[in-house]
């Protein structure tokens, strides 16, 4: 059996009781969907249920856990090479060691353990939708489970919906991540100058976050200056920032895998005044959202308020995106999951409830040659509370001249 977490000599993210509550919620949701158990393989869901945090989920990896609906019993599966990490994971009811990296043998080990815990014909959930493991690996697992007499069902999004509403302990963690994000963005602003490489700027941001106790974010930093200011989803390059250029900075601060997204755009010197006007108008979108909050408000209402304001300000022809995503615990490379503020791809249009956290962003491009760059943006992370929607950053949202 694993040792108790008392052997861990660094601060643990949450007490064992927090994880027990999470498992109980998931077990209840499984039972409501007619599931007797679930094999959890999504890395973010594994971390949510146990606190386990590993750096390498390769495509054939079947690290995961079996959670039963009747008694919320959790049995962990991993290879002996991770023995120390497993032994320091709190609250496990048992561990079954895998013995190979290829999926077939390990799928058989998991299926055998599941069958020992469940009656023949029991219905067991699997998670085929995700970055890891590979779809073929999940199909191998599904075949193994069915081969021992269990019925499988797709339960990919079950835990993600539960994760949508954060506990008080999670909210406290997210608030601390927001503090880290503001510190890192302030350090970036202080460092901005002509000649500074975009990659140097990223190093300053990452060093600031790590110095405050943060961890690796689940998405790489996006930094672009001048002609690269509108290159969305582009990493920092070894390009020096120029005089009279826009600098677009977008990153997530991550604490115990909980992410707070922050984006600000700066002007190093003088840029076209239309950039300032655009960003002043766009930044007020967040004020309209917080003012418009009311009982029964859904994600689609947030999107509608933002779209109405954007159109009223005459910004539509510059929009790259005005929208957002639910945030929470995440491991690379997926930092947002499948719940969108502007529902799409069949995602649920959730009613906003206290404990929900989501980002909202306005990103704008120019193709007319405005001096300074090709794009500007803001992103805020918002927390739903009993009294309204709280903006977690205290930094100015408009275009800031340096």
> CB count, 10 Å around CB of 281?
18
Q: Do 219 and 322 lie in a common domain?
A: yes
CA–CA gap between residue 396 and residue 83 (Å, rounded)? 46
What pLDDT, on a 0 to 100 scale, did the predictor assign at position 104?
87
CA–CA gap between residue 247 and residue 216 (Å, rounded)? 23
Beta bridge partners of 379: 263, 361
How many Å separate Cα 1 from the centre of its chain? Answer: 32
Helix crossing, 168-191 with 198-211: angle to 10°?
A: 140
Cis status of the peptide bond prior to 333, with omega within 30 of 0: yes
Q: How confident is the model over 278-288, as a mean pLDDT?
A: 98
pLDDT for 58 beyond 60: yes
Q: Do 150 and 180 lie in a common domain?
A: no
Which CATH number belongs to the domain containing residue 295 in this structure?
3.90.230.10
Of 162, 192, 216, which residue constitutes the final position of a domain? Answer: 162
Query: Residue 40: which of 31, 27, 59 has the closest Cα?
Result: 27
> What is the side-by-side strand order in the sheet with 37-40?
94-97, 74-78, 64-68, 37-40, 123-126, 151-154
Q: Do 184 and 305 lie in a common domain?
A: yes
Q: pLDDT band for 345, please (50, 70, 90 cuts).
A: confident
pLDDT for 3 beyond 60: no
Q: How confident is the model over 344-358, as a mean pLDDT?
A: 94
Q: Do 115 and 141 lie in a common domain?
A: yes
pLDDT for 291 beyond 90: yes
Of 162, 184, 215, which residue constitutes the final position of a domain? Answer: 162
CB-based contacts of 217: which residues, under 8 Å, 6+ apart? 209, 251, 252, 253, 254, 259, 335
Which CATH number belongs to the domain containing residue 122 in this structure?
3.40.350.10
Q: Do 118 and 26 lie in a common domain?
A: yes
Mean predicted lDDT score pLDDT of the chain: 95
Q: How confident is the model over 100-124, as a mean pLDDT?
A: 92
CB-based contacts of 106: which residues, under 8 Å, 6+ apart? 62, 77, 98, 99, 100
Q: Do 100 and 183 lie in a common domain?
A: no
Q: pLDDT band for 7, please (50, 70, 90 cuts).
A: low
Q: Do 130 and 201 lie in a common domain?
A: no
Boundaries of domain holding 93: 5-162
What pLDDT, on a 0 to 100 scale, did the predictor assign at position 101?
66
List alpha helices for 192-268, DSSP H.
198-211
Domain tally for the chain? 2
Q: What is the pLDDT of residues 154-212, one digit of tens each?
A: 999 999 999 999 999 999 999 999 999 999 999 999 999 999 999 999 999 999 999 99
Q: Do 49 and 62 lie in a common domain?
A: yes
Of 137, 162, 187, which residue constitutes the final position of a domain? Answer: 162
What pLDDT, on a 0 to 100 scale, did the predictor assign at position 23?
98
pLDDT for 349 beyond 60: yes
What pLDDT, on a 0 to 100 scale, did the predictor assign at position 1?
40
Q: Do 133 and 237 lie in a common domain?
A: no
Q: Do 174 and 299 lie in a common domain?
A: yes
Q: What is the pLDDT of residues 251-279, one digit of tens each?
A: 999 999 999 999 999 999 999 999 999 99
Please return the burial class of 151, using the count of CB atoms within 10 Å of its CB with bins 0-12, 13-18 and 19+: middle
HSE at residue 383, side-chain half, CA atoms within 13 A, is 24
pLDDT for 69 beyond 50: yes
Q: Do 45 and 104 lie in a common domain?
A: yes
Q: How confident is the model over 284-292, as a mean pLDDT?
A: 98
CA–CA gap between residue 390 and residue 63 (Å, rounded)? 37
Helix crossing, 16-32 with 43-50: angle to 10°?
A: 120
pLDDT for 335 beyond 90: yes
Map residue 342 onto helix, strand or coil: coil
């Amino acid at each position: 059996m694993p040792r108790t977490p008392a052997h861990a000599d660094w601060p643990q993210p949450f007490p064992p009781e927090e994880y027990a509550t999470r498992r109980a919620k998931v077990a209840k949701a499984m039972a409501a969907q007619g599931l007797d158990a679930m094999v959890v393989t999504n890395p973010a869901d594994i971390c949510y249920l146990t606190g386990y945090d590993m750096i390498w989920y390769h495509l054939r990896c079947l690290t995961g856990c079996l959670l039963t609906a009747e008694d919320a019993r959790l049995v962990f599966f991993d290879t002996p090479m991770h023995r120390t990490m497993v032994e320091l994971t709190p609250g496990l009811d048992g561990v079954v060691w895998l013995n190979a990296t290829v999926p077939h043998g390990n799928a058989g080990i998991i299926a055998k353990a599941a069958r020992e815990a469940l009656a023949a014909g029991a219905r067991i959930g699997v998670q085929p939708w995700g970055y890891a493991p590979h779809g073929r690996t999940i199909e191998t697992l599904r075949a193994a489970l069915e081969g021992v007499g269990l019925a499988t069902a797709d339960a990919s999004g079950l835990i993600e919906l539960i994760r949508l509403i954060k506990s008080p302990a999670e909210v406290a963690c997210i608030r601390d991540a927001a503090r880290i994000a503001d510190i890192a963005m302030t350090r970036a602003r202080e460092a901005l100058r002509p000649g500074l490489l975009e990659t140097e700027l990223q190093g300053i941001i990452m060093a600031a976050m790590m110095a405050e106790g943060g961890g690796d974010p689940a998405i790489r930093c996006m930094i672009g200056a001048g002609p690269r200011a509108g290159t969305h989803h582009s990493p920092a390059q070894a390009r020096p920032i120029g005089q009279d250029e826009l600098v677009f900075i977008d990153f997530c601060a991550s604490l115990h895998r909980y992410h707070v997204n922050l984006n600000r755009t700066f002007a190093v010197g003088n840029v076209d005044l239309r950039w300032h006007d655009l960003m002043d108008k766009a930044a007020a979108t967040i004020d309209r959202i917080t003012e418009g909050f009311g009982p029964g408000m859904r994600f689609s209402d947030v999107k509608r308020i933002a779209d109405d304001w954007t159109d009223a300000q005459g910004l539509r022809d510059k929009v790259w995106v005005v929208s957002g995503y639910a945030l929470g615990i995440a491991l690379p490379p997926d930092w947002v999951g499948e719940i969108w503020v502007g529902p799409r791809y069949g995602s649920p249009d959730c009613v906003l409830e206290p404990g929900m956290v989501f980002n909202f962003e306005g990103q704008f491009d120019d193709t007319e040659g405005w001096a300074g760059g090709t794009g500007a943006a803001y992103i805020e992370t918002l927390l739903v509370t009993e009294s309204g929607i709280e903006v977690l950053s205290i930094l100015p949202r408009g275009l800031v001249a340096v």
